[in-house]
Structure 1
């Protein structure tokens, strides 16, 4: 199979047409003029079913993603999944801090704290959904943002102190 694979999980993912245009179409191949343009979002509150911590993460992420024009209406489930995974990861880490890495099994023998498994699974989900949203340095370098104004995110100020 030559070129870009279309089977999920195989080969390199195709670049969006907008990214190819901004790069000057270096491959000189015909551009996809039928690529879908999903509805953009100007602002959206966290879904009511999110936990308080997941909703806080939502309120931190959404302004940044919207400022860079990298999230559409069809991407909101990825934001929700990221925020939910973040909350689960934090809960699992708190359980590890509270009960330790090794806990007592029902038979009374030492065993690995099951919260470690939950923390690892949640962390993998964070990586997956964060990458889809451009939240890590590698995937961020592949995303083209549209607006370079300064951040107005109130939580970003906490990182600079």
Structure 2
């Protein structure tokens, strides 16, 4: 089974290592940052605020990706809740029949962590998916270095020509 195709925005950020053709007919969603859904818990809304603007600035999150980020944030909120309940209750307990069983909160925490991992890969926020992203030419300023040698005859000639041009512009004669 081959991997799912990536959106062109993520492929552009990662670079086209395989030199495969771009999908020029891919729909382009409006470039607007989505609002946080009101149904999310307080913890999930805090996670939304932490991630949404950064993902939008990276060019990964648009208005149509709202549900994916909301699903990640909801899973995050449930995971935090389950982890806090695990602090209060034992991880394993004995049933009335004498069997040892894991806490339901442990199962919830594990399931939410699994869901979060899937969404993190989709949104490009795992360390591995971030390491594949290469910033475009506009993301980093170009710095140009020039070396000037004072004993270079060409530099001395250029300096003399510049000085003559300045004097001529000021109205002086050579």
* TM superposition score category, shorter chain reference: 0.7 to 0.9
1:85 Cα offset (Å): 0.5
Query: Contact (CA 8 Å) 2:15, 2:133: kept in 1 or not?
Result: no
Displacement of 1:12 in angstroms is 2.5
User: Counterparts of 1:3-152 in structure 2 under 5 Å?
Assistant: 10-17=1-8, 19=11, 23=15, 26-27=18-19, 29-42=20-33, 44-107=34-97, 109-143=99-133, 148=139
Native 8 Å contact 2:44 2:74 kept in 1:
yes
How many residue pairs end up in the alignment?
138
Give structure 2 stretches of 5+ with no counterpart: 141-174
Report deviation, 1:36: 1.2
Mapped to 2, the partners of 1:86 and 1:117 lie a distance apart of 14
Instruction: Tell whether the 8 Å contact from 2:14 to 2:132 is kept in structure 1 after alignment.
Output: no
Q: Which residue of 1 aligns with 2:151?
A: none
Task: Please tell me whether the aligned partners of residues 44 and 77 of structure 2 are also in contact (alpha carbons under 8 angstroms).
Answer: yes
Highest CA radius of gyration, 1 or 2?
Answer: 2
RMSD (Å) for aligned C-alpha atoms: 2.7
Distance in 1 separating the partners of 2:79 and 2:121 = 17
Q: TM-score when scaled to structure 1?
A: 0.72
Question: So what's the TM-score if we normalise by structure 2?
Answer: 0.67
8 Å CA contact 1:96–1:115 kept in 2: the answer is yes
Structure 1 residue ranges without an equivalent (≥5): 1-9, 150-161
* Cα gap change, 1:105 to 1:40, in 2 (>3 Å): farther
- Structure 1 distance, partners of 2:49, 2:37, is 11
